[in-house]
Structure 1
Amino acid sequence: MAKKKFHFNPETLSYEQIEHTIAHWLKQLMIHALSGVFLGLIFFFIFVSTIKSPQEKQLSQDKAHMEAQYKVLERQLEEVQYVMSDLQQRDDNLYRVVFQADPIPLSVRRGTSANTEYYEQLLDMTNSEIVVSTTKKLNELRKELYIQSKSYDDLILLAKNKETMLENLPAIQPVLNKNLTRMASGYGWRIDPVYHSRRFHAGMDFTAPVGTNIFVTGNGTVQSAGWEQGYGNCVQVNHGYGYVTLYGHMSAIKVRVGQKVKRGDVIGLVGSTGKSTGPHLHYEVHFKGQVMNPQNYYFLDLSPAEYDRMVQMSNNAGQTFD
């Protein structure tokens, strides 16, 4: 039985029993109900945030396992990229040098086909940094593998054509000069015989009587044959693979434009046409548009000792014939 409650009435100077109305009891009931609901919610959120369900535990384990796998995959990709980098260096610095092919630019090797929007979409995913990093490395590796594969295809083709390439390369002296007595001036800075000033001599001069045979130094196609300013009667032969040779100051030209020639064929006769002070052959070697030193292209003609002597003679700083 509930205890009765009284309150003091100052007017009657007596204690009177408190009588509660239905509204009072309803108010009390609502207060207790709301307090219970509030406390229940607090305990519920505490429970949910601290205690995981079996499904959540399994998802957390799967997530941790996946993150670990991503990290392992990232390390493996780094190892593969290291191997790929080594292959690229061998390709550019060894294989392509052997076949005299241009190295593949780094911008071509490292270019990626994926756009930035693709990576921005990945950033919205959970663990986005790992996903984006791994995806970028994978895309870069795929591109590098494709470029490297194409490079090896090119090298295989070059290897198949190596015999033809060796036949086309300039590899002999353009006049009979076994005893090296016909070498007048080499490649480099020389005194110009006409202007008497120091000028760059882009080829080698071989002295010989007028009418001496001039031989093409490698297989190729006659690119030009006729008069050229300074060179007089001149022939240029395109050997392919980036090589072009030039023969100047001829007294007579024995070939025509478009004619196929083989190493050792006579293409003209020594003369003194053009800017020349005496009978001689001016010989140049060009590789991919750059003038090269012809002394590096007599390897089928000279022994090591003869080559050494030729180098010493060609390095003289005397006057040229043109």
Structure 2
Amino acid sequence: MSKVKYHYDPDTLSYRRIERKKSRTVKYMMLFLLASAIFAFIFIFISSQFIESPREKGLKHELQNAELQLELLNRKMDETETVLASIAERDNNIYRLYFEANPIPDEQRKAGFGGINRYKDLEGFDNSKLIIESHKRIDQLQKQIVVQSKSLDEITKLAEQKEKLLEAIPAIQPVTNEDLTRMASGYGIRTDPFTKARKMHWGMDFTAPRGTPIYASGDGVVVRADNASSGYGNHVRIDHGYGYVSLYGHMYKYNVKKNQKVKRGDIIGFVGSTGRSEAPHLHYEIFKDGERINPLNFYYGSLSAEEFNKLLEHASLENQSLD
């Protein structure tokens, strides 16, 4: 119940009841409601600035966690970039150098992506810059991995070819030292045993008893096993590929036939003295791209340093050849 208020009237010397006008009551109510609304707005505004709701707290926690995960991701990308840089350096300066392949330039390994904006959908967010930079680094790493993977595939193929090349090169002495009587004559100007004239001797003569085994000096295919070449008598020629051909002359008999595949160390025939020969021996030649070269340079596969030096000494003597 509202209070009743009175007013003292000095003229009548009495108290008169104060009647409140309805318009004033409505005015006071409106002012009260307006003040309440303003106070409520100020309270809500201040609360929104300094007091977080449970939902806001959850979103803030998720955002902090996302930023932490991005930071950890960038650290891992730093480590991955370091590892890739090390692999790329070894790839260029060891692997590709060893197999005589051109190094891959950094411009090709780290080239960017041209064309349209790949990250347009990531723009417009609070952390767009951070997110876009992380995506760019991931894309860059993926591209470097693809380039490095293709390079290693190439190196693998080159290694296989290198292995085949090393197996094919005529790299062993065709007559073993145990069976060898002596190294009669080497590559160079020698005295012809029949005309006594000095002329070029295109191979090496290994003196050994008749019937001594002759070994293929490298993997290849027999392209000739006949006596139809002047002066060589019964002879075998092996095509090793990569431009290399080896020739074995004056054989007593063959142990292979034309088009037969042979491996290094296979017995392909036996020492004899057929053709233009003065005594039982093996005449051995090597061709590279059709040109005859010194076989002495290809014995790294079967001789020790001491044995090679001894062979080099005998091969250098300007004596008489046996064919």
TM-score scaled to structure 1, two decimals? 0.52
Map 1:1-322 to 2 at 5 A.
Answer: 157-178=157-178, 181-227=181-227, 228-322=229-323
CA shift in 2, pair 1:161/1:314, >3 Å: same
What's the offset of the Cα at 1:156? 6.3
Deviation at 1:241, TM superposition (A): 1.0
Structure-2 separation of matches of 1:258 and 1:156:
29
> Helix, strand or coil: the match of 1:217?
coil
* Whole-angstrom CA distance in 2 between matches of 1:95 and 1:188: 37
Task: Using the TM superposition, give the Cα deviation of residue 279 of structure 1 relative to its aligned residue in structure 2, in angstroms.
Answer: 0.5
Question: Conserved in 1, the CA contact under 8 Å of 2:179 and 2:212?
Answer: no
Once residues 293 and 155 of structure 2 are traced to their aligned partners in structure 1, the CA distance between those partners, rounded to angstroms, is 24
User: Residue type of the partner of 1:267?
Assistant: I
- Runs of at least 5 residues in structure 2 that lack an aligned partner in the other structure: 1-91, 103-151
Cα deviation, residue 171, structure 1: 1.0
Task: State how far apart, in whole Å, the 2-side matches of 1:259 and 1:265 are.
Answer: 11
Q: Is the 8 A contact 1:185 1:205 kept in 2?
A: yes
CA distance in 2, matches of 1:157, 1:201: 39
Say which one has the larger Rg. Answer: 2
Change (3 A) 1:187 1:255: same
Shift of residue 160, structure 1, vs aligned partner = 2.5
Shift of 1:270: 0.6
**Residues 310 and 156 of structure 1, relative CA distance in 2, 3 Å threshold:** same
The Cα of 1:259 is off from its aligned counterpart by: 0.2
- Which structure 1 residue ranges, 4+ long, deviate > 2 Å from structure 2? 98-101, 152-160, 178-182
The alpha-carbon deviation at position 100 of structure 1 amounts to 8.7
Q: CA separation of 1:197/1:176 partners in 2, compared to 1, >3 Å: closer, same or farther?
A: same
Which secondary structure state, in structure 2, belongs to the residue aligned with residue 232 of structure 1?
A: coil
Render the CA deviation track for 1:42-66: whole Å, top value 9, x for unaligned: xxxxxxxxxxxxxxxxxxxxxxxxx
Q: Is the 8 A contact 1:230 1:275 kept in 2?
A: yes
The two structures have a TM-score, normalised by structure 2, of 0.52
Residue in 2 aligned with 1:33? none
The 2-side partners of 1:250 and 1:164 are apart by 28
How far apart in 2 are the matches of 1:153 and 1:243?
27
Amino acid paired to 1:308? N
Q: Distance in 1 between matches of 2:234 and 2:220?
A: 19
Q: Find the residue that maps to 1:310 and give its secondary structure.
A: helix
Contact 2:179/2:208, CA 8 A, preserved across alignment: no
| % identical aligned pairs | 51
**Matching residue of 1:7:** none
Separation in 2, partners of 1:278, 1:321: 7
Q: Deviations over 1:237-294 (max 9, x none)?
A: 0011111000000010111110000111111111111100010000001111111111
Range 226-235 or range 301-310, more displaced: 301-310
Tell me the amino acid that sits aligned with residue 214 of structure 2.
I
Distance apart, 1:195 and its partner CA? 1.2
Maintained 8 Å contact 2:180/2:207: no
Q: CA RMSD in A?
A: 2.8
Q: 1:157 Cα shift?
A: 3.7
- In the alignment, residue 291 of structure 1 is paired with which amino acid? R
